[in-house]
Structure 1
Amino acid sequence: MAAAEPDSKPFFSLESYHVSEELGFILADPLQELPPYYQPWMDIALRVPELVHSHELRFHVNKMPQLSSQFLQKHRELRLAHLALSMMTMGYMWQEGENNTVKMLPHNLAVPFWEVSQRLGLPPILTHADAVLANWRKKDPEGPFDMENLEVLVSLPGGDSTRGFFLVTLLVEMAAVPALRNIPTVINGVRCGDAETVARALEVISQSLQDMTDKLKLMQVYVEPSVFYGIMRIYLSGWKDNPCMPKGLVYEGVQDEPMEYSGGSAAQSSLLHCFDELLGVKHEAKSGAFLTRMRNYMPPAHKLLTQDISLQPSLKRFVQQQASERLNQAFQHCVTKLLALRSYHINVVSRFITVPAARARQLRNQNQELEGEMISRAPTALEERGTGGSGIMIFLKTVRDQTKGTLLPETSQ
C-alpha cells in the first residue's frame, strides 16, 4: 500500500521530537550529579583538565572501578553519564597530544560508555549533544540565560576559552528557538495554502537567524584563538579521518576490531539541518554525505525531525506558486540570513583555525617556540581539517555556495 502524502497528516508539531518550546534542542535542567554509585566517574570527569595537565588522567582511569550502567534510569541521568564518560574519553585519548595516542580504551571506561551510548542512540564519543546541549547550568536559577549567569558542568583543557566556546555555542542554540517554534507554522501554512501565515513565520525565522549570527560573534570575546587552536582543538577531535589514529580505536570489552567516530562538529547541531530541509537547500554529493553522516551524532528524535521536515511539501515551490510579494521577500530574507550565518562561520573558522595554522607552520619552519609555543604544539594532522574530520574551508565554502543556490531567481522589478 502506498504511503500517505505528508500533507494528508493532520498537523505538524514539535512535541514528539523532544524539542522544547522554551529551549529548542537544549536539554532542560541537566542534572549535575549522578546516583552515589557513580561517584567514581564524576570524581574523575570533574577533574579532567587538571589531570590531563599533570599527565595523570590515564592513570586514574586505569584504576577506576568497573561500574554497571544498569542503575541509570532516567534520560537526564543517561545524558550526564554520557557527558562525563565522553569527557574522560577525550582526555584519556589525547592526554599526551597527537604523538602518543592509545589504540585501546580500557574496558572499565569503554564498556559502560558503549552501554550508555546504545541506550541514548548516540555514538561513544563526545558530541555536540553532550558538550553543548547537556553541559550547562544557571548560577542563579531565576537569572537570565546569558554568559554571566551560565556555567559548564564538565570541561576540557583550555580554561576560560573552553567554557566560552561551549557556552557561546549554547547561546547560538538558544537564539534559534523562535525559528524552531515557527517551523511547524510554515509547514502547516504551506499545507493549508495560507501564504500570509507562512510569510509571518518566515519573518520570525529570519530574525532568529540574525540573532544566531549575533551570538556567534561572542566567540571573539570569550575564546582566545591561540588557546582554541593550540590546546582545545585536539580534545574535540575523533578517530575517523584522523591521520593520528588511522585505524580508529578499540573499545576493550565491546569488540576486538577498532571503531571509527568523528569528533565534535558544528554540523552535529540539528539547527542548520532543519533550516536546510525547510528552505530546500540542496548540498552537493561530498558535503551532503558528510552532513548526512553527522546526523548519526544527534539524539535520535532530533535526527528524525530533520528527516521528517524533508518529507513535507516544498516550501520553495509554494512560494513560487503564490503571487505574494511579502511571501517572496520573506523567503529571500530567510535564505539571505542563513547565507550570512554561514559566511560568518567561515570568518570564525578563519580566525580560529586558518590563521593560527599558518602561524604554526611559520614558527615550526623557523624553529621558534616563544610567543607561539602554544600554537606550534598544536596537532599538525588537524591543520586543514575540522574536528569532525572534514577539509574545513572547502567544505564550509561549498555549503555556503549551495545555500546561495536556494535564492529565488531575480524577478523583474
Structure 2
Amino acid sequence: MDTKVKNTETLLSLGQFHISEDCGCILPEPLTDLPLYYKPWMDIARNVPELISSHSLRLRIHNMPLLETHLLRTHCELRLAHLALSMMTVGYVWQEGERETIKVLPRNLSVPFCEVSQRLGLPPILIYTDAVLANWKKRDPDGPFSMENLELLLTLPGGESLRGFFLVTLMVELAAVPGLKSILDVINGIHYNDVAMVTKALDVVSQAIDSMKQAFKLMHDYVDPSIFYGIVRIYLSGWKDNPLMPEGLVYEEVQEKPMEFSGSSAAQSSTLHCFDELLGVQHEGSSGAFLRRMRDYMLPSHKHFIENISSRPSLRSFVLQQADEGLTHTFEQCVARLVDFRNYHINTVTRYITIPASRAKQLRANKQGLPEELDAIRRAPTALEERGTGGSGIMTFLKTVRDKTKDTSISQGSKGNQVLPDPSINTEGCI
C-alpha cells in the first residue's frame, strides 16, 4: 500500500512523461529543418515520393554521405532526424513495391539511423511516433489545429490520401488530450477516496473518447480507399511477420544478422494504451502480446506513463466498491464509448482493407474497372491482404481487442451498454 501512495505523490504532471498539456502525446511545435550539416538527408527526405516515382531513391541513398550524429543535440532535432531517416528507409525498402525487395540497408543510412534510434529509445523503422506525432506543421502558425491549416513535414507516395491519413490520425490524438489530462484526476480521486472527483474526471475521459471517434470520421473525407490500399499501405509495413521480407532486414555495419521490426500501426498509440490501463481492459493471448510489444515502439517516457497508470489501484475495483450510481454510470459510459470507437475502427478497416482486398481479387480475375483503380490495385502487395501494417492478422486482432474492452463493463449484457457498429457503414459479408 505504501508503494501505491508513493507512486501517487510522485505523479505530479504530464510533463514528467513528456506529454504536453496542450498536445498530449503529439510533439509540440516540431522543427521543420535540421542544421545545415544534415542538408543531404533533408534534400532526399523531402523528395521521397518523386524519387520513388522515378525509381532513383535507392541510387540517391547509395550516393549519400555517411554523416555523424553527434551534432544532433536536442530532442526535437533527434525526432526530425528519426522521421527523415525512417522515411528514407521505408522508401528505400519498398521503392519497387513487392518486386525487387532488398535484404540490406546501406551503411550511410543504417548507421546514423540506428544511432539516432538508440538515443531516442526507438526502433530504426518508420513508426507512429514519427509519421503522426512528429510530422506536422501549421500553415498559419497562429491559426487553429484543423485539416485546412495543417501540413506534413515529410511525406510518402499517396498524395492527398497519404496526407489525410496521417493528419486525420493527428486530429484523433488531439481530440484525446482532455482525456489524457483527466487521467491524473482519476488517479488522485481514487487515492483520496473522492467519488465526485473521479466521476467528473471520468466524464471528461468519456467525452474525449467520443471526440476521438468524431475526428476519426474525417478519414472518409480525406482518404481514398483504393489509394490507401494500393499505394500507401506498403510504406507503413515493416519487416516482421511480413511474408514479403521473411528474413527481416540487415542494417549494414550495425549487425550482421537481419533484424525484424513491425511497421507503423495505431497499436503504437500511447493514448489508447493509457485509456485501456485506466479502465482495466485486460488484453490477453496473442493480441495482448502484440500490444505489449508495440509499447517498445513508443517513446520510453510515454511507455513509462502507461506503466505508471497500470501500477495504480484499480479504477474498476474502486467503482465496484463505491457502488455509487453516478460513478458506475459514468464508468460504463466510458467503456461503452471505447467499445464504440473500436467498432468504428473495425468498420473503417473493412472499408480501407477488407473491401479493397476483395475488389482487388475481382479486378485481377476479370481485368475490369477504372484505369486508375486498376493501377492502384495492381500495385497493392497481395501478401499483405489480411494483415495490418504492424504485421497482425488485422480483423481477428481488432475484434479481440474490441471484445476484451466489452468484457470490462461492470454490467455485461445489459442492453444499455451494448454498442453496435455505425449503421452508416455497410459491412455486410465483409467482417
TM range (shorter): over 0.9
Is 1:7 the counterpart of 2:5? The answer is: yes
Q: Are 1:247 and 2:235 an aligned pair? A: no
Q: Distance in 1 between matches of 2:66 and 2:81?
A: 14
Paired residue secondary structure (2:143): coil
Deviations 1:146-204 (A, max 9, x none): 00100000000000010100000000000000000000100110111101100000000
CA contact (8 A) 1:11 1:188 kept: no
Counterparts of 2:28 and 2:275, CA distance in 1: 22
1:407 to 363, 387, 409: 409
Q: Deviations over 1:26-73 (max 9, x none)?
A: 001100010000000000000000000110100100000110111000
Alpha-carbon deviations, 1:336-365, whole Å to 9, x = none?
110111000001100000000011111112
**1:222 positional shift:** 0.4
The within-5 A match list for 1:313-352 is 313-352=313-352
Q: 1-side partners of 2:181 and 2:46: how far apart?
A: 34
Specify the code of the residue in structure 2 equivalent to 1:381.
Answer: A
Q: Deviations over 1:197-222 (max 9, x none)?
A: 00000000111000000000000000
How much does 1:15 deviate? 2.5
Report the Cα offset of residue 412 of structure 1: 12
Distance 1:147 1:159 in 2: 15
Does the C-alpha gap of structure 1 residues 226 and 106 become closer, same or farther in structure 2, counting only changes over 3 Å? same
* Equivalent residue number for residue 235 of structure 1: 235
Q: Which runs of 5+ in 2 are unaligned?
A: 417-431
Percent of pairs with identical residues: 62
Which segments of 5 or more consecutive residues in structure 1 lack a partner in the other structure? none
Counterpart amino acid of residue 99 in structure 1: R
1:169-180, aligned counterparts within 5 Å? 169-180=169-180
Give the counterpart letter for 1:380 in structure 2: T
Structure 1 equivalent of residue 419 of structure 2: none
Code of the aligned partner of 1:322 = Q
Task: Identify the residue that residue 375 of structure 1 maps to in structure 2.
Answer: 377
Look up the match of 2:355: 355
1:260 maps to 2:263: no
State whether residues 99 and 244 of structure 1, in contact with CA within 8 Å, keep that contact through their aligned partners in structure 2: no
Aligned pairs for 1:47-66 within 5 A: 47-66=47-66
Distance 2:6 2:260 in 1: 41
**Cα distance in 2 for residues equivalent to 1:104 and 1:335:** 45
Output the amino acid matched with 1:36. L
Match of 1:395 among 394, 397, 401: 397
Equivalences for 1:114-153 in 2 at 5 Å?
A: 114-153=114-153
Q: 1 CA distance for matches of 2:150 and 2:96?
A: 30
- Deviations for 1:56-93, whole angstroms, at most 9, x for unmatched residues? 10010000011011100000000000000000001000
Counterpart CA distance in 1 for 2:40 and 2:415 is: 68
Structure 1 runs (4+) greater than 4 angstroms displaced: 410-413
- Give, in angstroms, the shift of residue 137 of structure 1: 0.4
Is residue 18–residue 25 contact of structure 1 (8 Å, CA) maintained in 2?
A: yes
CA separation in 1, counterparts of 2:243 and 2:200?
48
Letter in 2 for 1:281: V
- Per-residue deviation, 1:136: 0.4
Matched to 1:237, the amino acid is S
Report the counterpart of residue 422 of structure 2 in structure 1: none
Return the alpha-carbon distance in structure 1 between the equivalents of residues 368 and 256 of structure 2.
43
Report the alpha carbon displacement of residue 335 of structure 1 after superposing the two structures with TM.
Answer: 0.3
| Rounded Cα–Cα distance in structure 2 between residues aligned with 1:52 and 1:117 | 24
SS of the residue corresponding to residue 360 of structure 2 reads helix
Query: Distance in 1 between the 2:323 and 2:306 partners?
Result: 29
Distance in 1 between residues matched to 2:224 and 2:415, nearest whole Å? 47
Shift in Å at residue 377 of structure 1?
A: 2.1
For residue 368 of structure 1, report the CA deviation from its aligned partner.
4.1
1:109 and 2:101 are equivalent in the alignment: no
Task: Answer whether contact 1:12 1:187 (CA < 8 A) is retained.
Answer: no
- For residue 386 of structure 2, what is the aligned residue in structure 1? 384
Determine helix, strand or coil for the equivalent of 1:238: coil
RMSD: 1.4
Q: Tell me the CA shift for residue 4 of structure 1.
A: 4.2
Change (3 A) 1:64 1:401: same
Taking the aligned partners of 1:112 and 1:368, their CA distance within structure 2 comes to 46
Tell me the CA shift for residue 366 of structure 1: 2.2
Distance in 2 (CA, whole Å) between partners of 1:235 and 1:4 is 48
More moved, 316-325 vs 37-46: 316-325
Whether contact under 8 Å (1:361, 1:376) holds in the other structure is: no
Counterpart CA distance in 1 for 2:6 and 2:106 is 51
Residue 423 (structure 2) aligns with: none
The offset of 1:11, in angstroms, is 5.0
Greater shift after overlay, 335-344 or 366-375? 366-375
CA shift in 2, pair 1:149/1:412, >3 Å = closer
Amino acid at match of 1:23: C
In 2, Cα distance between equivalents of 1:271 and 1:412:
28
Secondary structure at the counterpart of residue 385 of structure 1: coil
Distance in 1 between residues matched to 2:387 and 2:318, nearest whole Å: 38
In structure 1, the partner of 2:79 is 79
In structure 1, what is the equivalent of residue 189 of structure 2? Answer: 189
> In structure 2, what is the Cα distance between the partners aligned to 1:412 and 1:320?
19
Indicate whether 1:284 and 2:298 are aligned.
no
Deviation at 1:24? 0.4
- Distance in 1 (alpha carbons) for counterparts of 2:415 and 2:282: 25
Q: Counterparts of 1:178 and 1:229 in 2: how far apart (Å)? A: 32
Distance 2:217 2:282 in 1: 27
Whether the 8 Å CA contact 1:283–1:402 is kept in 2: the answer is: yes
Tell me how far apart the structure 2 counterparts of residues 396 and 384 of structure 1 sit (CA, whole Å).
12
